[in-house]
Structure formats: structure tokens, C-alpha cells
Structure 1
Amino acid sequence: MLSVGDTEKIILNLVQPLDYTEVVDLLAATGRVLASSVTSNLDFPHWDNSAMDGYAVRYEDVKHSSAENPSVLEIVEEIPAGYQPQFTIQSGQAARIFTGAVMPKGADTVVMQEKTHSEENRIFILAAPKPQEFVRHKAAFYQAGAQLLPAGIVLNAPEIAVLAALQCSQLSVYRRPRVAILSTGDELVTPDQVLEAGQIVDSNQYALAALVKQSGAEPLLLGIVRDNPVALAETIAHAIASADIVISSGGVSVGDYDYVDKILESLGAKIHARAVAMRPGKPLTVASFPNHDLGDGEKTQHSGLYFGLPGNPAAVLVTFWRFVQPAIKKLSGLAESGEVKFIKVRSHDELRSDGKREIYVWGKLQLIDGVYEFHKAGGSHSSGNLINLAQTNALAVLPVGKTLVSPTQEVEVLQVGN
């Protein structure tokens, strides 16, 4: 039985980022991983501009201004946003200017309008500004030619805004990893079927599809496969030929109907893990197909990866969060993918373990009086209890040898659900 840490290292060593890219429109790029770094031939700001509604002036003309002894300047121009100034500001002159508008030549400072008083074409400066106050200088935010966005980042709203400002209407992103999902078991039915005695709904297919989407990959749903070795072998072979990663749930323990490992070996897979010292999630198969061919013209540079997850719902979610999600993120080209990172927080509840395996307890991170606390989900923490997994956003981890975490003590937590 492998340790959790060794299993994680094996998986991440097996994964090589995809080198397949595609060009998408900017509006279709949200959530995608940028494949090439981005530079621009534009400075940001594009020109010196005002950060405030007020008056563009020469600092030397107003540096001694006060309410008792205001500086009086002639207003020679009004400059709204989008207007090109026509005058050069001379000594004793000012221009009315609005936020975002181009600074006129000769002016080096903006006095906010609240510190002024106007009469006809004259402006009275009632307080001395700081030199260059409220002026946003050309290239102060970004200088043309420098790297602006690096490859390997997820494109979210801030990055989309930057790309729009660059006038970048199309861009290169990595192809989304394709993840095939199948469930095994004679007892399984779909949500729209009538339940008979001994049957259960295949919730794992739906949970895994949601998790795969949240991880930035494309789920390929292959449905329920009965405990029939021939049918299972055909489905797994099809899944391997269709996807970068295959996930099955059930059929990886040591029962008479657990066929997955034998089928994988018959299909030429190399099995790297069969069991992990954790709870929930002990029965876990990790396999690779070195001669992976998607059959769609792509010449793969990476092994196809197979995860045989346990059948119990809690074990499926925990093993996905712990092992599969990091693999998908690395495969997708994310620059910061890698080992799972934990944070230390205060435990609200007592957490217990027998110390023999690494234990994962699901619950919620909550902000209490400015401090994050882990709150254990109520009810049974059986791996078959799907109900109290709802609203889980964190897993508390008790390592091997740790038998007790008392309330208010620190515990390592893995944030999940994002």
C-alpha cells in the first residue's frame, strides 16, 4: 500500500502538459489557459492623463497657494475625455480637465476641483498640490514591449479586460483536457429510472462531470457499465482512445466483480498504484498507457492516464480532489500546477483518527471573528454517506500517527470546490 505522498508524486511525474493549442475569440477565452505569453506595442497609460476632475496647471504657478493667498490663473481650454488639447499651458494659465483626459503640454500637475474656486475664465487655487499630483504618466502601468501576461495562467475577468485593452480579439490557448467518465456496477441506475430493491442511483457520474468542468477540462460521459468483463473492456478501450484521462468509479477493490485492474493489464496498461494508505479512498488504481493515441490526428506526447476510483461517493470526491484535480490542472498547461497545497487553520471540532492511515474529514471553512475555522460536517463520516458532503469546501487532514485534534488546535486543510 502506497503512502498519499508517494502516490501524489507518481501521478504528477506521469503527467506532461498538453502541447496542443487552439485560437479562440476573446469572449470565448474565459477560464481557458493562455498558451503563449502576451506583449503589447502600446504603453499603459497611452499618454499622460488626469486621474481627477480639476485643473491642469504648472506646479511652479501654484506651489504656494492657500485659501488666504490663492493663486489666480487664466482658464484657456476645457479638456474632456477623448479630446486632444489644443493649447500649451503657459505661466499663469490653466486648463479645465476631466478624469481620463489627455494632459495638455506645459502642465505637470492637476488640482482637484474641490480645492478651487472659479469666476468666469479665472480659477482660484485654494490649496497647494503636490508636484505632479493626480497625473497618470504615460507607461507608468506598463511599458510597450515588456511581457504583460505569461503563458500558463487561467484567463479570468481581469485578464480578459487587459486583453481587450490590448485590442487582442483572438488568442492562443491550450486545448482543454478530455476526461472520460464511466461508472461500474450492476446495482446502478440513472436518476430518471425507478429504483428497485438493492439499486442505487449513479451519483458519481454527475459529481465527477461537475468536478471535471470545475477543473477546466471537458467531460466525456460514458454512462453505466455493468459488471461484465467483456463490456467493461470494450468501454475502457473506447475511453482510452477518446480521452487524455479516464476516470472510472467502482470495481477496483478485491471483490469477485472487481474487474478493472485485470482489464487494464490486458489492454497494455502499466499499473502504478492499487491501494493508498488513506481514508476514505484506500482502493485506488492509477495506471498509464505509454502508447496513447487519441485517434483524431493528434500525436500525443503524453501517456494516457487512468484513475480507478472507489465506488463510495465520499471516497470518489476525496480522491478526485486529492489526486485527479492536480493531474488535470498540470495536463491543462497551468504554470502553477503541482503538489497540493494545504493551509493551517483552527479546528472548531474535535477530530479523531486511529493513526494508521491518512484521514480526510470533510466540512466547511468559516470566517469567525476574523480567523478561519474548520467546521466538521455533521452526521456520519462514512464513505457511503453522500448527504453531508453538500456544501463541503474543505478537507481537514490528519496524517499517519495523528490520533486527535482538539477544538481550537490547528489542523491542515485542503480547500476544495474551486
Structure 2
Amino acid sequence: MDQATALLLADLEGDGGPGPLAREQVEVEAAIGRVLAEPCHARWPLPSAPLSIMDGYAVRSQDLLTARDQHGAETLVLLLGSESAAGHPARDNLEPGTCVRISTGAVVPDKADAVVAQEDTRRLEVTLESDGVGASNRVAIEVSSTALREILPGRHIRPTGSDVADGELLLDAGAEIAGGDASLLAGTGNFTVSVYRRPRVAILSSGDELVPIGQTPGRGQIVGTNAMLLAAQIREAGGEPVQMGSVADTPVAVRAAIEHARDHADLLIASGGISVGDHDLMLPVLELLGFAQRFRRLALRPGRPTTYGQLPPGGGRWPGTGMLVLALPGNPASTLVAFELFGRPLIRALGGLPRHRWLRPRRLVELGGPAEGDRRREHFVRAKLDAQGRALPLAKQLSGALRSIAGFDALVRVPAGRVRVEAGEQLEALILRE
């Protein structure tokens, strides 16, 4: 297994490797789940102006500092001017001795450099002389002793660029864009971004016994579910599944399907027909097409017949380097496990993700129950993780049993030669979900 994995990764990392695929420009919302092909920088700062982080009053801190430090004032009355609300900045500059009503998220007026919280103030009605003509009432704000004690420039203000500076690097090439990342990009002016194209992965199932989902199978037939399973795994890995349907067990049909896949996809993943039986035609047909085999017949359970290699250069989507092919056994557990080990890194490399993101995370887990091993092959046991993080092996582990691929969270790696591993032992596991 380690040799096979090393061969696969070497192919993907080499100078003549197949990926990543071409770049394309897409709207930022459509880029969620895609991989950035170029670094993205902020086109403007966030916030783009100083904003209040409190409901209250914008003030000149010097007014309060002078009243406190030079005159020993315990409170201060400021005349109330205009208002600054979120999305509606105050138009006038702040004059000495005045304040502006301000809301959370609103722009701090020019000449103001602090905000006094609303709970530290009191509204007053004051009478002012009006140039000898008479008296008029004005609304004023009394600033409390608490606010005077705590005042300083910048109080309760988010400065311009305090979240994101103008021109700051937001995400580098190779980043997989999540919803929060997309919000950051859009909020700083990156309305379209350059991403790697999603790998188009042809799914080819073979076997005369297969009937489509929705059709009741006859005697000796089964519902073909592997294509659906692979499509889900491909999407989760970042690829775009291309369903080729089920192919009859004839050389002509298998060859036509492979050639069609070469014209319409970046990678072919076949399920079934790769063992050594008389009706297993996948490898003979691939070899007729010039298939260069990299590995086959692994010390792996389930999934021993798994085969990986490359078709030679030709037409279609691979005119220069040829097309990668991963042929998996047809048993459901074999298909699932072998895809996680080899199909997933292929797709993630083609999609532009960096090397450390190709493989599933691995860690040591404690077995919550005994696990069966194999004398000659590594056994990847399907197991459920409990609340304490222990791995509970599923009761059924047969490669052909659908029950063995449902309701599990991890693949526990039992080394070759360990026929049985007891509860309490620690083994390496691939974590699929937590």
C-alpha cells in the first residue's frame, strides 16, 4: 500500500504530471468549493471609514480631556448636532463643544475621534441666548463621570483598515474557498476570481448483472449503486462526476465506453470488470488501447484488484499527456475504500489543491471493539467513532455487503499479518467524518 501510494503521489507531483487543470474566471459565489488559481488581494480597506462599535455619541476627545484634566469637571454638557446612522453618514464636521448621535456601524464624523456609549449619557433641554434676539431651546447631552474617566482618542471606534488593509493578501493560490472566504473576497471588491477548473471524472460501471436504480432486479441481478456512490465521493473530493452508465460485458462495449470517456472527461474511474475472471474485460481492453500500468493487485483488503495507470496521448481532452485511469473492483466496499485511498488524491491534485490536502487526515484511534485482520493484506476496517473518539468496527465487513459501507466514520488500518486486533489497541485510521 505504501509503495502504491508513493507511485501515485510521484506521478501527481512530477513535472510531467497531469494537473492542476486549466484556470477559469468565475463569479465569487460560484467559486465556493473551488480552488484559487491566483492570489487575491483586497481592493479597498475594511472598514473603508472609521465606524462606531457602540450606540451613543461621537465626540472630540479633547473636549472631554480638557474639561476633566484642566477644569476638574465631573460631567460635561455638549450640544447635540446632526446624526450619523449606518449607511447615512453625518454631512457636517464636528465643531468644538458639540456631539453627534451615532449608531453602531455608522461612520464617525470628521473631527470626531471617540464615541461615548449611550448608557454613559443623559439628554437635556438647555436654553441658549440667541445673539440678543431671544432665547431658544436646544437638545444637549450630559456626559457622565464614568465616560470622562474612560475617554481617550479612538474609544469605541473601528479604525479604517483595522479589519483588512488596502491591498492586503486575503487568500493565496491553492486555497479552497469556503463560504466565509467568499464573503471576505466579495466584501473587498473581488467579485470574480480565477479558479482551477473542476476535474471531470467519468464513472464507468461494467457488468451484465447490473440494473438501474428504480428497477426491480431479476434473478441473479443487482441494483447498480456503485456509480451513485462514486459520484458522491467525487463531488465531496471536489470533482464533477460524468455518468457513463453501465456497460455490457463485451470488449466492443467496454472499448467504446473508454474511448468516449477519453473525449469527455479528465479522469476515468471504472468500477467492476478488473479482476481475473473470464468476463473481467476492463484490463484487456485498456491494454489494447496502450494502457501503461503503474500498479495492480495490491496487498489491500478490500480492493485487491485495484489498478492504476495511464492511457497514451490521443485525441479528446488529453492530446498531450494521456489520460489517467483508476480501475476499481466492483464490490461496494472495495470501490469505496480504493477510491478514498487513490481516487480522492487524484481528483484533489487535478483540482489544484496543495500536496498536504490530497489525502484524508489520519490519526491514531483506540479500538472500541475487536477488529479482524488479514495474514497477507492490510485490512481497512469500516468503523464508527463514538463520543470518546473510539473506533467501533461495523459488524459486517464483507466487501460485497452494502451494510458494510453505511453508517461509518473512519477506515481503521489493520496491518498485514494481524489476524485479529483486540479492543483497546491503537491503530492508524483515515477520518472520513467526525
> Structure 1-normalised TM-score?
0.88
SS in 2 for 1:85: coil
Q: 2:59 aligns with which of 57, 60, 84?
A: 57
User: Does the aligned pair in 1 maintain the 2:396–2:403 contact within 8 Å?
Assistant: no
Aligned to 2:130: none
Deviation at 1:268, TM superposition (A): 1.0
Q: 1:286 aligns with which of 308, 325, 331?
A: 308
Deviation at 1:409, TM superposition (A): 4.3
For the pair 1:129 / 2:130, whether they are aligned, the reply is: no
User: Does the aligned pair in 2 maintain the 1:181–1:246 contact within 8 Å?
Assistant: yes
Aligned to 1:253: 275
SS in 1 for 2:277: coil
Judging changes above 3 Å, is the alpha-carbon distance between structure 1 residues 339 and 191 closer, same or farther for their aligned structure 2 residues?
A: closer
Kindly report the root-mean-square deviation, in angstroms, between the aligned alpha carbons of the 2 structures.
Answer: 2.6
Deviation at 1:246, TM superposition (A): 0.5
For the pair 1:318 / 2:321, whether they are aligned, the reply is: no
Give the greater-gyration-radius structure (CA): 2
Q: 1:78 aligns with which of 83, 90, 93?
A: 83
Q: 2:407 aligns with which of 362, 366, 391?
A: 391
Deviation at 1:299, TM superposition (A): 5.3
Per-residue CA deviation, residues 325-370 of structure 1 (Å, 9 max, x unaligned), is 111011011235334430233433233424532221113334x2xx
For the pair 1:8 / 2:5, whether they are aligned, the reply is: yes
Aligned to 2:196: 174
For the pair 1:411 / 2:427, whether they are aligned, the reply is: yes
Per-residue CA deviation, residues 39-78 of structure 1 (Å, 9 max, x unaligned), is 233111111111222222344555769xx94444333332
Deviation at 1:290, TM superposition (A): 4.2
More off after superposition, 112-121 vs 327-336: 112-121
For the pair 1:100 / 2:105, whether they are aligned, the reply is: yes
2 CA distance for matches of 1:109 and 1:344? Answer: 53
2 CA distance for matches of 1:286 and 1:247? Answer: 9
User: Does the aligned pair in 1 maintain the 2:271–2:329 contact within 8 Å?
Assistant: yes
For the pair 1:200 / 2:222, whether they are aligned, the reply is: yes
Judging changes above 3 Å, is the alpha-carbon distance between structure 1 residues 348 and 77 closer, same or farther for their aligned structure 2 residues?
A: farther
Aligned to 1:342: 362
> Structure 2-normalised TM-score?
0.85
More off after superposition, 273-282 vs 74-83: 74-83
For the pair 1:376 / 2:378, whether they are aligned, the reply is: no
Per-residue CA deviation, residues 154-174 of structure 1 (Å, 9 max, x unaligned), is 222112212321343333222
Aligned to 1:24: 26
Q: 1:213 aligns with which of 217, 235, 243?
A: 235
Deviation at 1:204, TM superposition (A): 0.7
User: Does the aligned pair in 2 maintain the 1:349–1:375 contact within 8 Å?
Assistant: yes
Judging changes above 3 Å, is the alpha-carbon distance between structure 1 residues 11 and 394 closer, same or farther for their aligned structure 2 residues?
A: same
User: Structure 1 unaligned runs (5+)?
Assistant: none
Judging changes above 3 Å, is the alpha-carbon distance between structure 1 residues 45 and 281 closer, same or farther for their aligned structure 2 residues?
A: same
More off after superposition, 81-90 vs 221-230: 81-90
Deviation at 1:284, TM superposition (A): 0.5
2 CA distance for matches of 1:409 and 1:74? Answer: 74
User: Does the aligned pair in 1 maintain the 2:52–2:108 contact within 8 Å?
Assistant: yes
Identity in percent: 35
SS in 2 for 1:141: coil
Deviation at 1:218, TM superposition (A): 1.6
User: Does the aligned pair in 1 maintain the 2:42–2:164 contact within 8 Å?
Assistant: no
User: Does the aligned pair in 2 maintain the 1:342–1:413 contact within 8 Å?
Assistant: yes
User: Does the aligned pair in 2 maintain the 1:72–1:125 contact within 8 Å?
Assistant: no
User: Structure 2 unaligned runs (5+)?
Assistant: 13-17, 125-138
1 CA distance for matches of 2:425 and 2:60? Answer: 60
For the pair 1:358 / 2:358, whether they are aligned, the reply is: no
2 CA distance for matches of 1:233 and 1:45? Answer: 59
Aligned to 1:42: 44
1 CA distance for matches of 2:257 and 2:349? Answer: 26
Per-residue CA deviation, residues 87-109 of structure 1 (Å, 9 max, x unaligned), is 44455443221111111233333
1 CA distance for matches of 2:150 and 2:390? Answer: 47
Judging changes above 3 Å, is the alpha-carbon distance between structure 1 residues 333 and 107 closer, same or farther for their aligned structure 2 residues?
A: same
SS in 2 for 1:283: coil
Aligned to 2:258: 236
Judging changes above 3 Å, is the alpha-carbon distance between structure 1 residues 212 and 61 closer, same or farther for their aligned structure 2 residues?
A: same
Per-residue CA deviation, residues 265-287 of structure 1 (Å, 9 max, x unaligned), is 21111001111112111110001
Judging changes above 3 Å, is the alpha-carbon distance between structure 1 residues 59 and 398 closer, same or farther for their aligned structure 2 residues?
A: farther
1:138-157 counterparts in 2 under 5 A? 138-157=160-179
User: Does the aligned pair in 2 maintain the 1:22–1:174 contact within 8 Å?
Assistant: yes
Task: State the one-letter code of the partner of 1:32.
Answer: R
Deviation at 1:319, TM superposition (A): 0.8
Deviation at 1:110, TM superposition (A): 2.4
User: Does the aligned pair in 1 maintain the 2:40–2:190 contact within 8 Å?
Assistant: no
Deviation at 1:403, TM superposition (A): 5.4
2 CA distance for matches of 1:77 and 1:30? Answer: 42
Judging changes above 3 Å, is the alpha-carbon distance between structure 1 residues 344 and 72 closer, same or farther for their aligned structure 2 residues?
A: farther
User: Does the aligned pair in 2 maintain the 1:8–1:339 contact within 8 Å?
Assistant: no
2 CA distance for matches of 1:384 and 1:199? Answer: 14
SS in 1 for 2:344: helix
Deviation at 1:404, TM superposition (A): 5.3
